[in-house]
């Protein structure tokens, strides 16, 4: 295995994306809205397509705005359909995101002559290519560093999410566990809901432009769920989830380079392997967690029988 500076940047961008997602993911998991990340990451396609058709260029800001609007609309439509139509929330989410995704595909195919947008790129992302787009060359300790654009964007998003979670920690905690209590305490839990959804949409869009939607979906849920099995304290859960996310990002990239070689193949997709590594960490914790692990519960149950 050979290591280039590109690999370092892949690690940095991957970790930043994973951390940004994991921060918000905790609250999605606690609010039983885990599938929202999946829904939003599919539903932004029409936003991307429309922004592209309108501006005629792959300018990242307009595409970003288009996708973020589509993401927020997904959350809003899901709420509307489940409230006004009395449809199960999961079903309404499924209807909204598949419809938007179909619409996006249709727009792309219809405008195929002048849309150079590959849907599979949205799905998988191209984290391997991100370090090539260098925008900033600072010199630190005599070393010139080439910072890619995505690393800057993701650092911004991660910082913003971290500030949001810290600043609204109390509000998020109370409204996630008990929305009615939050209302009686003067916290607008609906506002918190839409704020969170907006941030999820923005993060999703920012991340998968850089690293692909599969990382987003996985990192929103899997690290938070893993941390949920390890602790009962919310702040600890948030910290753990971020650490787990970064860990799976690093392991993911390493294994993408190493594992296929064991079977005599070339390297593989980093995004996919990051999700797989997160899954492996989750399974390990699920089995061996000290309090909520499957083994521990099994031992407890057999002891209780005796």
Partner 1 sequence: MPELSDIWNVLILRDYNTRLVVICTILLGCACGLMGGFLLLRKRSLMGDTLSHATLPGVGLSFMLLVALGGDGKSLPILLAGAGITGVIGCAAVLFIREQTRIKDDTAMGIVLSVFFGAGVAILGVIQKMPEGSAAGLESFIYGKTASMVMSDFQILVFITVCVLTCSLLLFKEFRLLCFDENFAASLGWPVKFLDILLLALITAVTVAGLQAVGLILIIAFLITPAAAARFWTNQLDRMLMLSALIGAASGWIGASLSAFFPRLPAGTVIVLVAALFFVVSMLIGTERGVMIRFLRQSQLEKRMGRQHLLRALYEILEGGRVTEELIIRTVPFRQILGRRTWSDRKLRDYIRRAYNEGLVEAPNKADSILLTETGLVEAKQATRNHRLWEMYLIEYADVATSRVDRDADMVEHILGDKMVMRLENKLQAYCLAGSLVPQSPHPIHPGD
Report CA dihedral (264, 267, 269, 273) to the nearest 10 degrees.
70
From 63, 210, 222, 242, residue interacting with partner 1 (rule: CB under 8 A): 222
Stretch that binds partner 1, among 6-14, 36-44, 56-64, 236-244 (CB under 8 A): 36-44
Which pairs count as long-range contacts for 260-263, CB under 8 Å and 24+ apart, including other chains?
261/1
Among 6, 60, 62, 99, binds partner 1 (CB under 8 A): 99
- Residue 84 token pair: 């006004």
Candidates 64-72, 142-150, 203-211, 292-300 — which segment interacts with partner 1 by CB under 8 A? 292-300
The sign of the torsion formed by the CA atoms of 211, 17, 222, 28 equals: negative
b/e map 83-95, b = 16+ CB within 10 Å: eeeebebeebbbb
Residue 103, interface with partner 1 (CB under 8 A)? Answer: yes
Q: Does 123 bind partner 1 (CB under 8 A)?
A: yes
CA distance 204 to 171: 22
Site string for partner 1, 40-79 (x = CB under 8 A): --x-------------------------------------
* Cα 35 to the center of its chain, rounded Å: 11
- Cβ proximity to partner 1, 179 vs 294, nearer residue: 294
Task: Work out whether 91 is an interface residue with partner 1 (CB under 8 A).
Answer: yes
Two tokens, residue 195? 């704020």
Determine, following the binding rule CB under 8 A, whether residue 204 of this chain makes contact with partner 1.
no
Whole-number Å distance between alpha carbons of 51 and 61: 9
Give the shortest CB-12-to-partner 1 separation in angstroms.
20
How far apart CA 97 and CA 95 sit, in angstroms, is: 6
User: By CB neighbour count within 10 A (0-12 exposed, 13-18 middle, 19+ buried), where does 247 fall?
Assistant: middle
- Decide: is 247 part of the binding site for partner 1 (CB under 8 A): no
Establish if 92 lies at the interface with partner 1 (CB under 8 A). yes
Interface with partner 1 (CB under 8 A): 29, 32-35, 37-38, 42, 81, 84-88, 90-95, 98-99, 101-103, 105-106, 109-110, 112, 119-120, 123-124, 214, 217-218, 220-222, 224-225, 228-229, 256, 260, 265-269, 271-276, 278-279, 282, 286, 292-294, 297
């Amino acid at each position: 295995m050979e290591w280039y500076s590109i690999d370092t940047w892949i690690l940095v961008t991957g970790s930043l994306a994973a951390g940004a997602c994991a921060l918000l993911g905790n609250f999605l998991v606690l609010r039983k809205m885990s599938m929202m990340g999946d829904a939003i990451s599919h539903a932004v396609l029409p936003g991307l397509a429309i922004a592209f058709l309108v501006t005629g260029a792959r300018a990242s800001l307009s595409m970003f705005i288009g996708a973020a609007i589509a993401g927020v609309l997904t959350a809003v439509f899901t709420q509307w359909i489940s409230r006004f139509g009395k449809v199960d929330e999961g079903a309404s989410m499924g209807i909204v995101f598949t419809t938007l995704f179909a619409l996006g595909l249709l727009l792309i195919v219809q405008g195929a002559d002048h849309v150079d947008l590959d849907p599979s790129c949205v799905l998988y992302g191209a984290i391997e290519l991100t370090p090539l787009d260098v925008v900033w060359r600072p010199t630190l300790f005599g070393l010139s560093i080439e910072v890619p654009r995505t690393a800057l964007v993701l650092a911004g998003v991660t910082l913003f999410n971290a500030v949001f979670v810290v600043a609204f920690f109390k509000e998020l905690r109370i409204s996630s566990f008990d929305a009615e209590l939050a209302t009686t305490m003067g916290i607008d839990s609906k506002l918190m809901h839409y704020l969170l959804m907006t941030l999820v949409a923005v993060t999703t869009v920012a991340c998968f432009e850089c690293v692909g939607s599969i990382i987003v979906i996985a990192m929103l849920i899997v690290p938070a769920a893993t941390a949920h099995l390890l602790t009962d304290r919310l702040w600890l859960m948030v910290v753990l989830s971020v650490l787990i996310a970064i860990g799976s990002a690093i392991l993911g990239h390493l294994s993408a380079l190493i594992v296929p070689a064991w079977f005599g193949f070339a390297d593989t997709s980093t995004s996919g392997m990051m999700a797989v590594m997160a899954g492996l960490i989750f399974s390990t914790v699920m089995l061996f967690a000290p309090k909520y692990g499957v083994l521990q519960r099994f031992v407890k149950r057999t002891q209780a029988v005796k």
